[in-house]
Chain A
Amino acid sequence: MGRRVLLIEDEPNIIEAISYLLSRDGWTVHTHSDGETAMDKVRQGVPELIILDVMLPGRSGYDILRDLRADPDTAEVPVMMLTARGQARDREMATSLGATRFMTKPFSNAEVLESVRALATSPS
C-alpha cells in the first residue's frame, strides 16, 4: 500500500481526476465530500497528507483546518488548501490557521503533483 493522502473535496470530477493522478504517482487516495463529517473521516485513520477544499457543504475548509490544528493527532499533518478564491486575504486566512500550502483553482495537474511530492518529502 502506498502513502496515504486524504482528499476532502465536494466536486466529484475533481475528486476523480486528482485521485487518478495521485494513484498513478503511488499514493493511496482516500476521499471525502462532506465538511460536517470530515473530522470523523480524518480520525478513522490519520493520513500522511490532507488536500482540503475551502468551500464544502456543511462546514468550511477553514473550520476543518482549525480543528485539525487543535487536535494533537493531526496538528502536524501537512494540509494543502484548495480554493476557487485566490485573494490575499484568503491566503492569509489559510496561512494563519496553519495551512502548509495554498493552491488556487484552476490549477494544473503538474502543480498538484509537484506540491504533493514537496509536502511528502518536507519535514512536518
Chain B
Amino acid sequence: MSGQGTTGARLRSRRMDLGLRQADVARAAGISASYLNLIEHNRRRIGSHLTAVLAQVLQVDEAALDEDGNETVLAPLRAAAAAFPQAGADGAMADALVARFPGWAKVVASQAERIAQLEARTQALSDRLAHDSQIAGSLHEVISTATAIRSTASILAETPDLDADWQARFHANIDTDSARLAESSQALLGFLDMEVEAGGDALPTPVEAADAVMAGWGHYVAEAEAQDLPDMAGLDGPVRGILTGWVEQAGADAALLPLGPFMQAARALACDPARLAARFGVPLEVVLRRLAHLPPQTGNDSLPPMGLAVCDAAGVVTFQKPILDFRLPRAGAGCPLWPLYQALTQPGRAIARTVRMPGAARTAFECFAIAGPVGPVSFGGEPRVAATMLVRPAKGNGGAGTVGPGCRLCPVVSCDSRRHPSLLAQGEGRL
C-alpha cells in the first residue's frame, strides 16, 4: 500500500488541507503532538477510538480515514481509472483522492459502480433481444412476411406476361401478407413496450440473473448428478442462493433417478412421464423436472428438447427452461389456458394436453402438468403448493388447443379467459 493510502497519510493530508498545526490537532484530540507525528508517519498504529476522535477534530467522515473501509471506494475508483485510460488518471493516486476529497471520491466511485450496473443491464437486455423466444418469433414473423411481400411484389412488377390466374393469386397473397405484417409488427411493438414498462432503468432481478446463469449452463449442471454444487464464484449472494436452490433440487431428483438408468428408461418408454414415474416409483413432478434437466443430447437416439415451468400458487413462474417458442411471463400475466395454471386448480391431477400458440409461434407442444404440496406439511399449516409443467414439441398440430402468450398480445378475440383487450385489436374489434 502506498503511503497515501494509510490512515496516517490521510490524517496528515486532511490536517494540512485545514491549515492546522500538529500541536493544535493533538491538543484537541487529547494526545501529544509527538504521538500524532508518529501516527501521521505510520510509525504508530491507531485504534478505532482515536480514529473517531481525530475524525471529529478534522471534521471528516471516520470511514474516510479508515484504510479497510476505503477499499469499498478505492476499488471502483481504480476500476474507473482503468476503464478510461485516455483520461490519464493514475489509479495509484486514487487513495490520495479519497484522503483529500472523500465526498467527491465517493461520488466518482458510486458513478463507476452505477455505470458497471447499467452496462450489465444493457448486456442482459441485448441478450434478451437476441434470445427471447417471443421477440425472436415476432421478428421472424415480420421478416418472413416482408420477404413474401417483397418476392411476390417483384414478380408482379417484373413479369409483364404474368397470366391472370397467377396475378390474382399473388395479389391475394400480398393482401393477406400485408395484414399479417400489420399484425406481427404490432405484436413486436407490444413486446418492446412491455420491455420498456418492465425494464426502465431497473437492474436485473436476482431471479433474472439466475435465469441467465442457468441458461449459460444450458440448464444442465453435471455436478448435480453427484449432489454437488457448481462453481458459483463471482455471483452475488442472492443469485447464488437462488441457483443453489435450483441445483439442489436437480441433485435430489438425480439421486432418485440416476442418469444412466433413467436415460435408458426414457428412451425405452418414449419419455412418457407417467410410465417413468411408475417404473421408478417416484412422484410425477420429479420425472417432469428430471426430463428437463438431462445432459445435452446428440446423435440419432437423442431425446427431444424439453422445457419446464414451475409456478407457485399465485401463478408466478419460479423456474422455467424455455424451448423454441415456449416461454411464460415471469410475473403471472400468462395465459390461464396453459396446463401449468390449470393444474393449480386441481392439485394432484395429472394433465396432458397438446397446445399451440397463435400467430408468430406455430410449434405445437405436448404439455404434462401436475400441482401439489411442496415441502413439509403440518396440521393446521397452509401447504405450499407448486405446479410443474414439462413441455416438448408435439409430433403434429392435430387436436392442439390454443393458448396465448398472454392477453395483451393474444390475437384470439373470442376467448372466455380473456382478462383485458389485446394490443392487437383495433377499430371495430377486428384484429
Contact = CB atoms under 8 A, between A and B. Distances in A.
Interface of A: 10-11, 13-14, 16-18, 20-21, 24, 36, 55, 57-59, 84-85, 87, 105-109, 112
Interface string B148-192: 101110110011000000100110010011000000000000000
Interface in B119-161: 130, 139-140, 143-148, 150-152, 154-155, 158-159
B113 to A, nearest CB: 31
Contacts of A107: 147, 150-151
Given A17-B152, A21-B151, A21-B155, A105 B144 contact: yes
Q: Which of B139, B147, B169 has the most CB of A within 10 A?
A: B147
Given A16-B169, A109-B154, A58 B393 contact: yes
A14 B362 contact: no
B144 A14 contact: yes
Given A21-B155, A58-B363, A11 B143 contact: no
Given A13-B152, A16-B173, A105 B363 contact: no
17 contacts: A10-B362, A11-B147, A11-B148, A13-B152, A16-B152, A17-B152, A20-B166, A36-B395, A57-B397, A59-B393, A84-B139, A84-B147, A105-B144, A106-B146, A107-B150, A108-B154, A109-B155
B363 A20 contact: no
Contacts of A24: 159
Contacts of A18: 151
Q: How big is chain B's contact interface, by range?
A: 20 to 34
Contacts of A85: 140
A14 B180 CA distance: 13
A105 B147 contact: yes
Nearest to A16: B173
Contacts of A109: 151, 154-155, 158
Nearest to B148: A13
Given A10-B362, A57-B362, A57-B363, A106 B173 contact: no
- The B contact surface, by secondary structure, is helix
Contacts of A11: 144-145, 147-148
Nearest to A11: B144
Contacts of B397: 57
A16 B152 CA distance: 8
Contacts of A112: 151
Listed from nearest, the 5 A-B pairs whose CB atoms lie closest are A17-B151, A84-B143, A13-B148, A106-B147, A105-B147
Nearest to B177: A13
A116 to B, nearest CB: 13
Q: Which of A11, A13, A20, A112 has the most CB of B within 10 A?
A: A13
A13 B173 contact: yes
A10 B395 CA distance: 16
A21 B152 CA distance: 10
Contacts of B363: 57-58
A20 B161 CA distance: 13
Contacts of B146: 105-106
Contacts of A21: 151, 155
Q: Which of A16, A17, A105, A107 has the most CB of B within 10 A?
A: A17
A30 to B, nearest CB: 18
Nearest to A66: B298
Contacts of B152: 13, 16-17
A24 B363 CA distance: 33
A112 B378 CA distance: 68
B123 to A, nearest CB: 16
A108 B150 CA distance: 7
Contacts of A58: 363, 393
A106 B364 CA distance: 26
A58 B393 CA distance: 6
Given A57-B363, A58-B363, A84 B144 contact: yes
B143 A14 contact: no
A99 B158 CA distance: 30
B393 A14 contact: no
B362 A106 contact: no
A54 to B, nearest CB: 9
B133 to A, nearest CB: 11
Nearest to A87: B130
Contacts of A55: 140
